A and B are shown apart, each in its own frame.
Chain A
Amino acid sequence: MALKGLGGKELAFNIALFTLCAVIFLIILYPLYFIVIASFSDSTLVSTGKVLLFPKGASLFGYKEIFQDSRVWIGYRNTLFYTLFGTLVNMLFTMPAAYVLSRKEFKARRPIMFLFVITMFFNGGLIPTYLLMKDLHITNTFWVFILPFCVNIFYLIIARTFFETALPAELYEAAVMDGCSHFMYFAKVAMPLSKALISVIGLYYLVGHWNDFFTGLIYIRDNNLQPLQIVLRDILLSNQVFQNGAGTGGGAASGGYAQRYADQIKYGVIIVSSLPILMLYPFLQKYFEKGVMIGSVKG
């Protein structure tokens, strides 16, 4: 039925919304566009600000260098494996735990949560952690990318909050009356209703794995196990040789040369490393659809 006189306001709102979105879109987009065209341009022209809207001094040098390097392909393969397997493990550990912590009848939930939160702030430091990994024999193996810190407390908290607010108590009562256990409720009711949450947390873990370079840096010796980020970081960092003054020990004869080659590669690197992930998000968007709980709970 027609609504009372909201035509004008509605229109004004939509115009404002559209304009706002357009501005946001351009602000976000231009630097991204810049990166793309810079990756195709000559680095000297890029640094001196001559590249504005179109690639200049077009060259595929950066990309050629990246893709010819076999380490990049090994890195891709490793990262894919660590990311997929790692995220799976993450979700397996985190989701049930978040569910448990959201159950008000679980007496131990506050103390356990406190214990978890402490670990967000206090940790023993890199060396004891390294020694532990060594004692567990997972250094220089792929396990070091999967197991340690497989529960991110921050995401755990988000998931718990989600379960607390989005799952009505009545739903559970009804299920219990039908003889449903926690396992079953979790698997058959909570999970399907939490598609948005699974997508988000899954995506967070996924990206965390994808971007992680620190683990490989400290715990891995074998070049065949290194993820993509390490390979690309090597390439990027060669640009920073002189960041803090050339006097830092023998740098003179090394940094000046080959600088330009590293520059050419810089922007191409970011595209190469981000592309697969960027492809992913549109597929997950459909899980953010509204109305997943229509009709499940009355009044």
Chain B
Amino acid sequence: MRKKVVGFITVMLAATTIISACSNSGGNNGNSNTGGDPTADSSTGSGSGKKVKLTAIMTKHPLTKPLKDMEWLQQVEEKAGVEIEWQEITADWDQKKGTMLASGDVPDLFIGPNVITDADMAQFQGLFQDLSGMLDQAPNVVAMFDAKPETKKIAEQPDGKIYGLPKYQRFWPSTATRQYINQKWLDNLGLSMPTTWDELYDVLVAFKEQDANGNGDPNDEIPMDWPGGIGGYFNAAYLLSGTGMTLTDGSPQGYFVEDGVVKNYLVDERYKSLVVFLNKLYKAGLINPEVFTHDYTKYQSVARGEGDTAKVGFTMGWVASDRFGEQLAPQYTSMSPLKAAADSTVSWSYDYNSLNYGVNQIVMSAKSKNKDAVMRFINELYAPDMGMQVLFGSLGPNIKDNGDGSYSVLPPADSKMDPGTWKWTSTMADNGAFYIPDSLQLTLGKDMQEVLEQSKPIDAITIDVDHDVFPSFLKYSSADNSTMGLNNTNVMNLANTNFAKWVTKGGIEGEWDSYVKESEKAGLKQNLEIMQKYYDEYKQQ
């Protein structure tokens, strides 16, 4: 009999597990569908006593504290009469997103930097709510559109529908990248600030050979460093500005505009001369030998030197205190762009749009059962006095009300923390959806003030935004998006490989022409045509 019992038990176990799984829907099943309280009257205003339950996803920075601990957020939910169950995602959003959208299993609301891209919206028709008809419920958003028409342009699809709302944070500088040189080393060696590429070369040689940091070891200086590869913020490509080229948003894939024509520097003669220059530096040992292999951690650590002894001479970064640490920051000066040759005109990268505006920061699901409640929440979120709190933290612990209509951002409560980290741990920060009106009087924290201060050499340059800048938030069709994406993968593969090879080993002269042909074949030509088409259409609006 026992033999049968064992077998029987096995079968029953299997059966029961499967059956209980099917019937367990009541138990642990979270609010994977739009959790709405069907009895709540969603058309009444806020504070009607019964709160509407909503579900939302927010893609936040990993070190940000739990959303339920953010005071301003509780207030916003309170005012809108909603109670939100947040799912806070700090990593792998791209992997989760695909499955979630394809299966239609979405919450009421999404918040995050480009949390749902235009490509997603094009591909998943009908999944997201068109907000253009509901703006009467969100006067604060309308106010933003009126005060800053760019925000409306960013939000509108070509057919006038609005699926995602942007943010506007107003205080950010016109570029993410500032160029720094160690002033103390210049002074130690009696050198003057370089203004051209050739002068830079001489200064870097001096850094290397003359024990610039004065610690007795002539070999521990790294004259020049950058995160690696080609393209993106803080990259050596910014030196191209010395040829008069204006980059946009750091031109991570090489695209820029000149006199209304869309170009790519990866196949431009000026890039060739930059590579030749960098190769010259590399051969002379003036560039960090690990430039193409170090990861970001190492890159930052090296710049922090040892105690009072700095290691890096010339590099780029967001702000000195972040790039070099508080202790060494005073040694560095922010520089004006370097001219390629003595008679060049200079420019820089225009990052204003991508730094101050954000696209699709908040998106509503079309399947939500509480759209009015969601709109109320959105409206409260975009209130003029809320924006600064979303960005910097709540009134009280993070921002002080000066009593006269102006506000100040407070230093971190934890004195060991820098203001940037403090901002990111306290609140949604740049990942949130908000509007900071130009009329707001807010004294910024120490870090932002440093950024603005150190941006002065760059601000002095005039950039022709109308003809030399590529619009940051163009909306492409789904097919064009796919094509460009595939092409860019190929082109960047080619670019990175060759850039690294030419800088470290040289040889660009003989290979340049075939490289240009290869790049165009790999899809660069096709992308330029597509982008030019969209640019021209945009210009005609």
Residues of A within 8 A of B (CB): 43-44, 47-48, 89, 92-93, 96, 126-127, 130-131, 134, 136-143, 146-147, 180-184, 186-187, 217-218, 221-223, 225, 233-235, 237-243, 245-263
Contact = CB atoms under 8 A, between A and B. Distances in A.
Interface string B1-33: 011101100100110011001101101111110
A253 B355 contact: yes
B9 to A, nearest CB: 9
A92 B24 contact: no
Contact of B252 (A221, A235, A247): A247
B92 interface: yes
Contact of A147 (B21, B318, B420): B21
Nearest to B237: A247
Interface string B51-74: 000000000011100000000000
B27 A141 contact: yes
Interface residues of B, number: 77
Contacts of A180: 3
Contacts of B21: 136-138, 141, 143, 147
Nearest to A218: B99
B341 interface: no
A258 B24 contact: no
Nearest to B492: A245
Given A254-B61, A257-B322, A237 B90 contact: yes
13 contacts: A47-B301, A127-B102, A147-B17, A186-B6, A187-B3, A217-B95, A233-B92, A234-B62, A238-B61, A249-B113, A250-B355, A253-B430, A258-B63
B211 interface: no
A231 B184 CA distance: 43
B251 A262 contact: no
Contacts of B431: 254
A261 B421 contact: yes
A147 B322 CA distance: 47
B429 A184 contact: no
A137 B24 contact: yes
Interface string B396-431: 000000000000000000000010110111000111
A257 B419 CA distance: 9
Nearest to A233: B91
B105 A134 contact: yes
A131 B6 CA distance: 34
A47 B213 CA distance: 21
Contacts of B298: 47-48
Given A254-B429, A259-B296, A96 B10 contact: yes
A247 B6 contact: no
B518 to A, nearest CB: 21
Given A143-B21, A245-B232, A250-B355, 5 more contacts: A48-B301, A147-B18, A221-B32, A253-B430, A256-B420
A140 B113 contact: no
B323 interface: yes
Contacts of B28: 140-143, 222, 225
